[in-house]
Structure 1
Amino acid sequence: MVYLNQDSPYTTDPHHSKHTKMKRRNFIQKAALSTGAITMGSGLSYASTPTHPKASNKFKLKYAPHLGMFEHHAGKDPIDQLNFMADQGFTAFEDNKMRTRDVTLQEKMAQTMQKRGIEMGVFVAVFLKEGHVASGDLEKRKAFLAHCKESVEVAKRVNAKWMTVVPGNLAPKIKKGYQQAHVVETLKQASAIFEPHGLTMVLEPLNFFNHPGAFLTDSPQAYDICKAVDSPSCKILFDIYHQQIQEGNLLPNMEACWDEIAYIQMGDNPGRNEPTTGEINYWNILKFIHEKNYNGILGMEHGNSRPGKEGEQAVIDAYKSVDSFAR
């Protein structure tokens, strides 16, 4: 996943692959085999007898915690935290920082997830501290594409299928239409990198309040870009927290761009903490998602509203509550 915001930089090769359509034909087959292929590609074998039982799914949907969310219960060791998540019934996990973690730790985390029946969600492929691709700068595009290629190897190692992408900040001296064209061309070239591996970058619109100046801000814009890129490797990450602030009207907007949504993240507003702590009616939203037969991951990209073990238990209890889909 590539994270292109005011804190991230990306770039690409100046020529879009002429073989994209041929690669696209093989995408569905490869995506279906992606978990197995990625595991084999890592050169690791995870067939050893598990020391813990498989996660017993206690939820209707695949909610994905992140490291640090339960460290008062599990301690700071990532492996212990993964095992705690599985013990609570979570069957998915996401880690924005996975790309920058030590390879040995990546392999241990992948092995633990494999043993415990935890599916890997998004990681941020690139987090640029400056620069953007909306400007059309070819050097930035090349750098962006280089990070995409590196992220393929991380995805293979940890059995990931999705990578977060945010196309940086606005280029204020360039007309918006040109900026959009530059972003679309960059993402077409990035898609040509990911398609042969059955991987998907998910574009995350960011809200104006937390991310002033971001190029990608709302779901209609993300939908337009995905249609223009026209690749199974370029889809939408619909972050409910961001879009509540940015555009509201959550259910109609999710409905309108549903065919391009590949990943969902959660967080209540205000505060960006667990569901039930703010204004968002997560019972109705999750009911909508469930009735759409969504089988993907819902990333728990938020903080804990209260400190310590009590706050961590409150997060678990909140997900048990909203997972009932009714008050």
Structure 2
Amino acid sequence: MFKITRRGAIGLGIGAAVAGLAPHAFAGPKRDPLLASYAVNVASWWGDTPLLDRFELASAAGFEAVEMWGVHDDAYSPKDIRQRLDEYGLNLVQILAWYGPGLTDPAQEKPFLEAMKQAIEDAEYLGADMFTVVGHQDDPSLAMEEKMARLQGAYEAALPMVEDANKTMLLEPFNEFNHPGHFIYGSPEALQICRAVDSPHLKLNWDLFHMQRHEGELVQRFRDGIDQVGYVQMADTPDRHQAGTGELNYDYIFQECRNAGYEGYFGLECWPKDGDAEQAVADFRAVAPA
């Protein structure tokens, strides 16, 4: 799948020219081999287009996989999403199952378990293997050890049903600049929780944007944590646009992630600079990981 020479294929112009076209420009999928490692986030791309129409744009741009946030909304349902996935031949990689409230609050135990049951049903219906769970909103009244223990306990409570369904919960650390008011920033505490739980069904959503903003040293930190990496998201820093618009050398970073043993998709949870999706696709093609 990745044998094609990246720079040579870039010269062919495959896929980049179609990224900004309006919906209904193509009847079927047009796959770009340089985009085969990516899952484009339909929640953050093509923001001036209704979300359900963004699946066609993702397919027209040459992507084979997408990711998204919640799948229940007044404007769409899992049934609507499944229809778009089937129509445009797309694979949904992961979804957002819980963003809050914080799981250090015992009152959230029942709602959280109900949400995990729903997430399992949604993931199964939509063909996704993973879903992100964010529950580390801060409670300043608790010591760090207690917050960690309660968060871990919440994951452990949901784990049996997740294991039975053969799905994976993803713990996503944030950075304090973009997401103040949380207590899991960077890799150390997140790795501590995942290693303590010690299950293949609880892993990290290793967002390189957050990791760079909080702790830096991206490649070595990734190598040290690869045993708990379930999924990787990315954006350039500091402005959260596509690769090549900030300070990171993603050509090198992507290759080192592969060298460390990561074989999954890279989730493109970024906002194309100036809203230019066509340029963003071209920039990602230029650094496509082998």
Q: Are the structure 2 counterparts of residues 239 and 192 from structure 1 closer, same or farther at C-alpha, using a change threshold of 3 Å?
A: same
Kindly indicate whether residue 189 of structure 2 is the aligned counterpart of residue 224 of structure 1: no
Q: Are the structure 2 counterparts of residues 159 and 101 from structure 1 closer, same or farther at C-alpha, using a change threshold of 3 Å?
A: farther
Match for residue 76 of structure 1 among 44, 50, 70: 50
CA deviation string 1:246-304 (max 9, x = no partner)? 00000011001101101111111111111111001111111112334533221111112
Match for residue 151 of structure 2 among 169, 172, 183: 183
Match for residue 317 of structure 1 among 282, 285, 290: 282
**Which residue identity does 1:62 align to in structure 2?**
Y
Q: Are the structure 2 counterparts of residues 320 and 220 from structure 1 closer, same or farther at C-alpha, using a change threshold of 3 Å?
A: same
Task: Report 1:17-166 matches (<5 A).
Answer: 52-53=28-29, 55-67=31-43, 69-70=45-46, 75-76=49-50, 78=52, 80-100=53-73, 105-114=77-86, 116-128=88-100, 131-134=101-104, 137-166=105-134
TM-score normalised per structure 2: 0.83
Q: Are the structure 2 counterparts of residues 53 and 208 from structure 1 closer, same or farther at C-alpha, using a change threshold of 3 Å?
A: closer
Q: Are the structure 2 counterparts of residues 217 and 289 from structure 1 closer, same or farther at C-alpha, using a change threshold of 3 Å?
A: same
Task: Report 1:163-178 matches (<5 A).
Answer: 163-178=131-146
Q: Are the structure 2 counterparts of residues 140 and 226 from structure 1 closer, same or farther at C-alpha, using a change threshold of 3 Å?
A: same
Which secondary structure does the structure 2 equivalent of 1:273 belong to?
Answer: coil
Which secondary structure does the structure 2 equivalent of 1:164 belong to?
Answer: strand
Q: CA deviation at 1:205?
A: 0.3
Q: Which runs of 5+ in 2 are unaligned?
A: 1-26
Q: CA deviation at 1:216?
A: 1.1
Query: C-alpha separation between the residues in 2 aligned to 1:324 and 1:260?
Result: 20
Deviation larger for 82-91 or 225-234: 82-91
Kindly indicate whether residue 202 of structure 2 is the aligned counterpart of residue 234 of structure 1: yes
CA deviation string 1:235-254 (max 9, x = no partner)? 00011111111000000110
- Report percent identity of matched pairs: 27
Query: C-alpha separation between the residues in 2 aligned to 1:245 and 1:284?
Result: 18
Kindly indicate whether residue 227 of structure 2 is the aligned counterpart of residue 259 of structure 1: yes
Q: Are the structure 2 counterparts of residues 165 and 266 from structure 1 closer, same or farther at C-alpha, using a change threshold of 3 Å?
A: same
CA deviation string 1:7-41 (max 9, x = no partner)? xxxxxxxxxxxxxxxxxxxxxxxxxxxxxxxxxxx
Q: CA deviation at 1:124?
A: 1.3
TM-score normalised per structure 1: 0.74
Which secondary structure does the structure 2 equivalent of 1:257 belong to?
Answer: helix
Query: C-alpha separation between the residues in 2 aligned to 1:116 and 1:192?
Result: 34
CA RMSD, aligned part only? Answer: 2.3
Q: Are the structure 2 counterparts of residues 68 and 210 from structure 1 closer, same or farther at C-alpha, using a change threshold of 3 Å?
A: closer
**Which residue identity does 2:103 align to in structure 1?**
V
Which secondary structure does the structure 2 equivalent of 1:163 belong to?
Answer: strand
Q: Which runs of 5+ in 1 are unaligned?
A: 1-50
Q: In the alignment, is the contact (CA less than 8 A) between 1:54 and 1:86 conserved in 2?
A: yes
Which secondary structure does the structure 1 equivalent of 2:283 belong to?
Answer: helix
Query: C-alpha separation between the residues in 1 aligned to 2:54 and 2:178?
Result: 28
**Which residue identity does 1:66 align to in structure 2?**
V
Query: C-alpha separation between the residues in 2 aligned to 1:84 and 1:111?
Result: 15
Q: Are the structure 2 counterparts of residues 253 and 231 from structure 1 closer, same or farther at C-alpha, using a change threshold of 3 Å?
A: same
Q: Taking CA–CA contacts closer than 8 Å with sequence separation of 6 or more, which of the two structures ends up with the larger relative contact order?
A: 1
Q: Are the structure 2 counterparts of residues 54 and 312 from structure 1 closer, same or farther at C-alpha, using a change threshold of 3 Å?
A: closer
Q: In the alignment, is the contact (CA less than 8 A) between 2:209 and 2:237 conserved in 1?
A: yes
1:271 maps to which residue? 239
